[in-house]
Amino acid sequence: MTSQGSSDPMIASLPMYPVARASVFAFWRAIASRLRAHGVTGVPASLDWPDDLPRHWRHPDLLLSQTCGYPLVTRLKDDVRVVGAFAYSAEGCSGVRYRSVVIARADDPARNVAEFGSRRVAFNSPDSQSGYNSFRTLIAPLSRTGPFFSEVVATGSHAASMRAVANDIADIAAIDCVSYAQICAAEPDLCRSLKVVGMTASAPGLPLITRGAATDDEIATLRAVLVEVARDPALADVRADLMIAGFEPLEPGAYAEILAMENTAIAAGYPSLA
């Protein structure tokens, strides 16, 4: 089997959970080795860490990447093919499904999300399922007389949202539960300054994707390899660092509920967090 029918180098990334980068690279080396063993040509030796993710995800030479479910259903659905998703072991995950934890400062007297009306909210990006779309859906029923929050702070990343809350720049944020667990493992002092005050509804986890022109045989090979690396006992320590507990093939329709979340919030008169 060949990718694109040539040996020209392709590109790959696993950019969405970058805390343990050494383990991400080790995991990719195992994936790349197995892809070559399955006859895939042009497999890159290393991963990209692209600054422009939307452009990267649409690249015609994309072999494998991980995106977010919200841009998948809103902007990428005609440009990529879904391979599947990893299952993670972080609290809030169930199989390939995940949630966001809603966090506040540990010393904030508010005890639940409903008590944060007219407070400041931080979010990583408006195209984030975990930091924006699922949070908007959670807040929509609480917003009966206009905007629920008094101020909206865009941070650019989940880690930055956590720091914004910890440093009293914002009061509340929704954080992908896998990101939260990994950041807490790496920065325990940061997490000791925060508390969890709620959780969003669950959704299918971050989709692994390839280029839109990939064939069914190429999809099948990618899935077979990802099943292998998700089970290989020799990779147990690497998977533990990344909190990867398995892999499941998924079709694009599995992510339709993410768009339904957006539509629910809009129908409730809450099209944005602002």
Q: Which of 158, 181, 203 is the last residue of a domain?
A: 203
Within-domain flag for 196 = yes
- Domain assignment of residue 266, yes or no: no
Tally of structural domains, the chain: 2
**Per-residue pLDDT tens digits for 152-197:** 999 999 999 999 999 999 999 999 999 999 999 999 999 999 999 9
In this model, does residue 12 exceed pLDDT 90? yes
Distance of CA 11 to the CA centre of its chain: 19
More confident residue, 6 or 273: 273
Specify whether 188 is located in the same domain as 215: no
pLDDT mean across residues, the chain = 95
- Give one DSSP letter per residue of 225-241, joined into a string: HHHHHHH-GGGHHHHHH
Instruction: Render pLDDT for 51-81 as a digit per residue (tens, 0 to 9).
Output: 999 999 999 999 999 999 999 999 999 999 9
- Alpha-carbon distance 172 to 207, whole Å? 26
Which of the two residues, 108 and 143, has the higher pLDDT score?
108
**Shared-domain flag, residues 209 and 74:** yes
User: For residue 274, what pLDDT is reported?
Assistant: 76
pLDDT category of residue 7 using cuts at 50, 70 and 90: low
Nearest-5° Cα angle at 152, 148 to 157: 125
Q: Give the model confidence (pLDDT) of 191-247 as tens digits.
A: 999 999 999 999 999 999 999 999 999 999 999 999 999 999 999 999 999 999 999
Residue-wise pLDDT tens digits, 247-267: 999 999 999 999 999 999 999
- In this prediction, residue 1 has a pLDDT band, given cuts at 50, 70 and 90, of very low
Q: CATH no. for residue 161? A: 3.40.190.10
Q: Are residues 145 and 180 in the same domain?
A: yes
Quickly tell me which residue has 């022109």 as its tokens.
Answer: 213
For residues 248 and 241, give the distance between their C-alpha atoms in angstroms, rounded to a whole number. Answer: 19
Under a CB-based contact definition with an 8 Å cutoff, are residues 164 and 153 in contact? Answer: yes
Q: 141: domain range? A: 97-203
DSSP-derived 3-state class of residue 203: strand
Answer yes or no: are the C-beta atoms of 181 and 100 closer than 8 Å: no
Predicted local distance difference test score (pLDDT) of residue 190: 98
